[in-house]
């Protein structure tokens, strides 16, 4: 997690199980020579959602208010395969503990885009609201209907590291602290389009800054997300990374900034992957890395395989 160094006590982890209805199996046309075998919508699963509020206390090892999230799996391809994601267990501060302090990917339904009556200041764009998506097509604070196409549930990825510390062999560098997902049993698939949206935390900091990060809009700054693919042998794919600017306020830039709702991002250039992780880079960085918080909301992940398989 970003700039929140709370001491975590060790706790038992609740493991979430897959549910088939959390994806749709569809043979619609996609990348040339490929057939669609699933679309991960994150709806109607038994996976524990971030909560009990938009801070997501149940994403940390010291949570005692009930079951907490650590890992979840979603089946697709008529149940033949599954995608798995969760909180990382490798990090500089909490090794061997599944906690958002180590980065990861989790599910949420929160969409607070302004301060509730009992909050003031920059609360809505701080880590206290890190589980909220900034989707202006949904009702602010309703915590329903904020996913793509007015769905309820979406994923959030968190984690960033210096690009030079990302290894071409998964597990050998800081890529283990990035948010992402993998396919079970070393299966490989091609990712088509995914839907992405800013989180409230990131959008608010980009616009206003906070005590640790600059307002990128006022400082002609930029911020981007990069997707890295790894094959079943753990090697980075030739098409990695695929990058997308979330904002670019530099003079003369013609880059389209990410709007305040869901947009498509095509990852087919990664090729066949077993694993995808996401990193963030930006103009506001210092001795300890990126100052802009590294979060992004995801939804509706399209999955393809070769027609020859």
CA distances from 153 to 23, 135, 201, 266, 299 (A): 12, 12, 18, 21, 8
For every residue of 94-153, DSSP letters joined together read: STT---GGG-EEEEE-----S--TT--TTGGGSGGGTT-B--TTS-TT--SS-SGGG-S-
Find tokens 């597990």 and name the residue. 171
What's the pLDDT score for residue 56?
99
Q: Three-state DSSP class for 65?
A: coil
What's the pLDDT score for residue 93?
81
Q: Read off the pTM.
A: 0.91
Distance between CA atoms of residues 292 and 206, nearest Å: 8
Distance between CA atoms of residues 42 and 48, nearest Å: 11
* Contact predicate 126/293, CB 8 Å: no
Q: What is the CA radius of gyration of the chain?
A: 18
Residue-range domain boundaries for the chain: 14-306
Distance between CA atoms of residues 3 and 295, nearest Å: 13
Mean pLDDT in runs of 10 for the chain (309 residues)?
39 40 53 92 98 99 97 97 98 91 98 98 98 97 97 98 97 97 98 98 97 95 98 99 98 91 98 99 94 99 88
Distance between CA atoms of residues 85 and 23, nearest Å: 14
What's the pLDDT score for residue 145?
98
What's the pLDDT score for residue 23?
59
What is the CATH topology of the domain spanning 14-306?
Jelly Rolls (2.60.120)
Distance between CA atoms of residues 40 and 245, nearest Å: 24
């Amino acid at each position: 997690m970003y700039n929140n160094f709370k001491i975590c006590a060790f706790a038992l982890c609740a493991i979430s199980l897959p549910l088939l209805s959390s994806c749709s199996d569809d043979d619609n046309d996609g990348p040339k020579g490929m057939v669609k075998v699933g679309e991960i919508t994150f709806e109607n699963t038994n996976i524990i959602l971030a909560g009990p509020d938009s801070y997501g206390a149940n994403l940390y090892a010291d949570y005692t208010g009930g079951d907490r999230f650590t890992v979840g799996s979603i089946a697709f391809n008529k149940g033949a395969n599954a995608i798995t994601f969760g909180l990382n267990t490798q990090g500089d501060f909490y090794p061997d503990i599944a906690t958002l302090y180590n980065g990861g990917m989790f599910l949420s339904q929160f969409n607070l885009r302004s301060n509730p009556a009992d909050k003031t200041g920059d609360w809505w764009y701080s880590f206290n609201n890190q589980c909220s998506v900034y989707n202006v097509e949904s009702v602010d604070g309703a915590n329903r209907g904020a996913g793509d196409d007015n769905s309820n549930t979406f994923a959030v990825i968190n984690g960033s590291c210096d690009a030079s510390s990302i290894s071409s062999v998964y597990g050998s560098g800081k890529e283990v602290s990035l948010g992402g997902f993998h396919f079970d049993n070393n299966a490989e698939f091609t990712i088509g389009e995914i839907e992405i949206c800013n989180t409230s935390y990131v959008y608010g900091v980009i616009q206003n800054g906070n005590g640790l990060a600059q307002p990128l809009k006022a400082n002609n700054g930029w911020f981007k997300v990069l997707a890295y693919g790894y094959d079943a042998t753990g090697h980075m794919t030739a098409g990695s990374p695929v990058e997308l600017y979330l904002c670019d306020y530099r003079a003369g830039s013609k880059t389209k900034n990410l709007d305040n709702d869901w947009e498509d991002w095509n990852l087919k250039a990664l090729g066949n992957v077993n694993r995808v992780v996401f990193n963030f880079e930006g103009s506001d960085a210092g001795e300890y890395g990126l100052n802009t918080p590294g979060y992004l909301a995801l939804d509706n992940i399209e999955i393809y395989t070769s027609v020859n398989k």
